[in-house]
Amino acid sequence: MRMRLGRDLVLALEAAVERWMSIDGVRRLWARDASLWTNSDESSWLGWLGLVPTPSASLGLADLTDRVTALGIRDVLLVGMGGSSLAPEVVSQVVPSPFDSPTLHVLDSTDPAQIGRVLGECDLSRTLCISSSKSGATLETSLLTDYVLEQLQEHLASKAVGGRCLAITDSGSLLEELARRREFLAILHGVSSVGGRFSALSNFGLVPPLLCGRDIETLVDRAAKMAVRCGGDVEAGRNPGVKLGLALGTAALMGRDKVTFILSPAIASLGCWLEQLLAESTGKVGRGLLPIVDEELGAPASYGADRLFVYLRLAEEFDPEQEESVERLAGAGLPVIDLTLSDRFDLGGEFFRWEMAVTVCGSLLRVHPFDQPDVEAGKRATLDLAAAYESSGAWPERTSIAVDVGLEAYADPETAAALRQSVGPGAGVQELLLAHLGKLGPQDYFALLAYLEQSPDYLDLLKQMRTGVRQARGVATTIGFGPGFLHSMGQTFKGGPDNGVFLQITCDDEADLPIPGRGYTFGGIKRAQADGDLQVLVSRGRRVLGVHLWGDVGSALKRLTSMVMAAA
């Protein structure tokens, strides 16, 4: 690990290391001493410290792997949100796979088009479904599992669809009850003292890629070696996880809270896992880190004094152009932390290093690294809206402010009234966007909250918007696809520092999908999630404007992109 931080940050980090040593912080962390944080129940959530024995000892899954192979499985469909799906997806994309091994597909969206596309990529007659939820009651996972079971029933000659499913969940959960009732092939348990985003090295993170032929034993071995390097007997200044966490926390306290990740292309998918880990662990009580992932690199002058860059380099796939860009940033005096992975299996070590780092960072920020109170608030709002719809048959009306071709701007009543007053009652969507983006100031960030299908074309347009705003306004930018981001960045959006300006994007669904046993569709629950998200953001005093795309979504999104670029 190499740190090029500048004099002021180096001195502050040295002081933080000395203080951590004076309070015996490393030993106390491994002793699960809750007084390092908020002195509440943190000691109950540090089970991840012990998740790194060899897989043969911790998993014992050889028999299950043999049974899955005997079924002739070609596709593994993972149904799960946030911590239940991000790590296994990263492992499957980063760690090499043997020839002709099953393909992992992740279903983590309530967008009907996204659901249809993911299922369309699977041969359901040769698909294994893994339903993964720590609580066993995650709304999206429950609804999607019911839908997938129904689809499997239609495609399998045998009516015993449970034999093509397995569950990963904590003991005694509702998901375990369903799995036993439907006679799932297997039920694999989580560890009660390990939260979802810290579960990369547990059954949640390892079983799906293992069943897709990945070498999990080597991955976990690298994690175990990193755990030794981060051990309770290694002082803070030489401890790679602790020192990284102290650097992150110190930088945030000095105003550099936008942790901007630069990743070698072969490990780029790690960014989404890091995004959730940092955002949910630190973004609360008005404090926290804002992880910036997949933002196009700019010239040093593009960045403000709120940035800290972290460059994760894969040594075996050196990218000279990327290296030159990072060197320009460091040469201009911007703080850069360099981490090098010798090969793809070092991913296991990074899982452990970063779990340690955010835990230590939480101590400096005096936050509880293992809860997510504002995520829970969003879930409650969604459930309330869905229940109201089942009772009344109608969703609450949005407060429309302006309509254009394919676009309708909306906001909460108070924001709508303020915008009408500032831009005039006859203003169009373009003028509203100009006024909204005009709220961005130094140290702020711009977030696109897109309740759309995660298609490459849509992502490209969203990237054009974020790049245009970054270049014109000099602020950090981020993109979240809903509802997935609600389980990661949603926490810091609502609970972290109040320096975000949000543009929520919703759309008409060309074709909707029914949810078995429910009085609403997937398009309907996606609407409830977007409205619940808006409701909680507004209750936290956040600056948010919504734009609904109607008609042809692609054409409307192109029009919105042009307007945002012009308003930036």
> Is 106 among the domain residues?
yes
> Tell me, what's the pLDDT at 394?
86
Residues sharing a CB contact under 8 Å with residue 169, sequence separation 6 or more, in sequence order: 131, 132, 133, 134, 135, 136, 175, 176, 179, 187, 188, 189, 190
* CATH number for the domain that contains residue 384: 3.40.50.10490
357 and 325 share one domain: yes
Residues sharing a CB contact under 8 Å with residue 72, sequence separation 6 or more, in sequence order: 126
491 and 528 share one domain: yes
Computed over every residue of the chain, the mean pLDDT equals 95
> Is 57 among the domain residues?
no
> Is 428 among the domain residues?
yes
Q: Please, what sign has the CA dihedral across residues 490, 494, 496, 500?
A: positive
- Report yes or no: 10 and 161 within 8 Å, Cβ to Cβ: no
274 and 392 share one domain: no
Q: For the chain, state the CA radius of gyration.
A: 23
Please report which confidence band the pLDDT of residue 395 belongs to, taking 50, 70 and 90 as the band edges: confident
> Is 64 among the domain residues?
no
143 and 13 share one domain: no
147 and 205 share one domain: yes
322's tokens: 């990327």
Name the percent of the chain lying above pLDDT 70: 98
For the chain, the residue count is: 568
Distance (Å, whole) CA 502 – CA 415: 13
> Tell me, what's the pLDDT at 283?
97
> Is 393 among the domain residues?
yes
> Is 48 among the domain residues?
no
340 and 377 share one domain: no
> Is 50 among the domain residues?
no
Residue 54 has pLDDT above 60, yes or no: no
Cis peptide before 483 (omega within 30 of 0): yes
Q: Each residue of 245-297: pLDDT tens digit? A: 999 999 999 999 999 999 999 999 999 999 999 999 999 999 999 999 999 99
145 and 194 share one domain: yes
Residue 424 has pLDDT above 90, yes or no: no
> Is 65 among the domain residues?
no
Residue 66: strand, helix, or coil: helix
Whole-number Cα distances in Å, 431 to 420, 428, 434, 526, 566: 10, 5, 5, 28, 10
347 and 251 share one domain: yes
Residue 478 structural domain: 373-567
Q: Each residue of 89-139: pLDDT tens digit? A: 999 999 999 888 999 999 999 999 999 999 999 999 999 999 999 999 999
428 and 480 share one domain: yes
Please report which confidence band the pLDDT of residue 377 belongs to, taking 50, 70 and 90 as the band edges: confident
**What's the mean pLDDT in 387-392?**
88
Cβ neighbours of 47 (radius 10 Å):
17
528's tokens: 């409830």
Domain boundary among 346, 365, 384: 365
**What's the mean pLDDT in 359-375?**
96
293's tokens: 């992932």
Residue 211 has pLDDT above 50, yes or no: yes
355 and 442 share one domain: no
**What's the mean pLDDT in 180-185?**
95
Q: Looking at the 3D structure of the chain, how many domains does it have?
A: 3
Distance (Å, whole) CA 335 – CA 317: 24
307 and 210 share one domain: no
Name the percent of the chain lying above pLDDT 90: 88
Chain-centroid distance, C-alpha 129? 22
> Tell me, what's the pLDDT at 56?
43
Domain boundary among 179, 214, 249: 214
7 and 104 share one domain: no
Residues sharing a CB contact under 8 Å with residue 3, sequence separation 6 or more, in sequence order: 10, 13, 247, 335, 336, 337, 338
Domain boundary among 330, 347, 365: 365
Cβ neighbours of 372 (radius 10 Å):
28
Q: Each residue of 486-501: pLDDT tens digit? A: 999 999 999 999 999 9
